């Protein structure tokens, strides 16, 4: 992706606790300097560069308005995610950073030194009325042309899709199915149907696994329930009907199993550009689609 315009001239100091376009940090040996060069139109050079820190899920236009932008004037904005900052979309597929809508006279840049994650999709509930997993959230959602710089310390990852719930109603399986696992990094688990297991929620370390039928406390046979024997596992006569695992960063969730298992949710984008010009300078880590 390339911009139709040439962004800003910015020197970014990538040090812990130091925001770009500020004074040189005390220990220059621990600093990586990223320089973005471009040619601004003559009428733009005189405009000041407004730097705004992003510390939580946000709409960049709303942040600018809160800082005093009048919504129509020509302006240059640099938004910064500092090295120690982690921004995570809400569980269920929330977006981490939305550029918001801007007039064409505004130039935007986003410097990411920390971590930006789309919210994980939620796992679907297991049967007998199973549900599909929900989609993962986008890390960055673009509505206006922007320059995005991801430093060596920066990470941008879409949320994983939630796993689908399992469903089975025949006599050889427990009447229900495991709940789907939540997608990376924070998707919620799906509930197990009947006596089947719930899924597991997604975490920053891994997506959640789907639940299965191995935790039942009775035997299911020919549509009825009989007490388990004095020894042996009650589940030994049951076919496991696992829910789908949640998806890792930017990946789809897995479908639930069984005769009517539901589908997993789609993975979120790292950068959803929506056919809007975006310039990306990457030195760090990205997981998920860009486009």
Nearest to 124 by CA among 62, 195, 49, 177: 177
Contact (CB, 8 A) for 112 and 147: no
pLDDT of residue 258: 82
**Confidence at residue 64, expressed as pLDDT on a 0 to 100 scale:** 97
Q: What is the pLDDT of residue 45?
A: 52
pLDDT of residue 122: 98
Residue 246 per-residue DSSP state: P
Q: Do the Cβ atoms of 87 and 112 come closer than 8 Å?
A: no
pLDDT tens digits for range 66-87: 999 999 999 999 999 999 999 9
Whether residue 233 is predicted with pLDDT greater than 50 in this model: the reply is no
pLDDT band at 195 (very low <50, low <70, confident <90, very high): confident
The better pLDDT of the pair 3, 55 is held by: 55
Task: Residue count of the chain, please give it.
Answer: 291
* Confidence tier at 44 by pLDDT (50, 70, 90): low
Q: Distance between CA 106 and CA 184 in Å, rounded?
A: 34
Is the pLDDT reported for residue 19 higher than 50? Answer: no
| Strand, coil or helix: 109 | strand
Q: What's phi and psi for 173, nearest 5 deg?
A: -130, 150
Dihedral (CA of 91, 208, 154, 20) sign: positive
**Residue range 210-239: mean pLDDT, rounded:** 47
Residue 235: is its pLDDT beyond 80?
A: no
Rounded to an integer, what distance in angstroms lies between the CA atom of residue 228 and that of residue 83?
A: 55
Residues 136 and 246: their CA atoms lie apart, in Å, by: 10
Query: Tens of pLDDT along 213-226?
Result: 444 443 333 344 44
Residue 178 is predicted with a pLDDT of 84
Q: Per-residue pLDDT averaged across 168-177, rounded?
A: 58
Partners of residue 226 on adjacent β-strands: 219
């Amino acid at each position: 992706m390339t911009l139709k315009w040439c962004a800003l001239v910015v020197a970014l100091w990538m040090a812990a606790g130091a925001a770009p376009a500020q004074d040189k940090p005390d220990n220059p040996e621990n600093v990586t300097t990223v320089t973005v060069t471009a040619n601004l139109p003559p009428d733009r050079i005189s405009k000041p560069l407004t730097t705004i820190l992003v510390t939580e899920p946000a709409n960049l236009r709303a942040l600018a308005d809160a800082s005093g932008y009048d919504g129509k004037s020509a302006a240059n904005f640099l938004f910064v995610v500092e090295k120690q900052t982690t921004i995570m979309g809400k569980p269920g597929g929330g977006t981490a950073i939305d550029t918001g809508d801007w007039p064409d006279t505004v130039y935007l840049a986003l410097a990411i030194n920390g971590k930006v994650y789309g919210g994980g999709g939620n796992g679907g509930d297991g049967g007998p009325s199973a549900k599909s997993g929900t989609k993962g959230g986008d890390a960055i959602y673009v509505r206006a042309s922007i320059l995005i710089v991801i430093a060596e310390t920066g990470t941008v990852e879409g949320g994983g899709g939630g796993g689908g719930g399992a469903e089975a109603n025949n006599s050889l399986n427990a009447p229900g199915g495991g709940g789907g696992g939540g997608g990376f990094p924070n998707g919620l688990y799906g509930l197990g149907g009947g006596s089947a297991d719930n899924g597991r929620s997604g975490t920053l370390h891994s997506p959640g696994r789907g639940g299965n039928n191995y935790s039942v406390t009775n035997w299911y046979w020919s549509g009825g329930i009989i007490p388990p024997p004095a020894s042996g596992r009650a589940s030994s006569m049951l076919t496991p009907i696992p829910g789908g695992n949640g998806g890792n960063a930017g990946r789809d969730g897995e479908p639930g199993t069984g005769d009517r298992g539901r589908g997993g949710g789609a993975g979120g984008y790292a950068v959803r550009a929506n056919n809007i010009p975006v310039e990306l300078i990457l030195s760090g880590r990205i997981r998920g689609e860009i486009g």
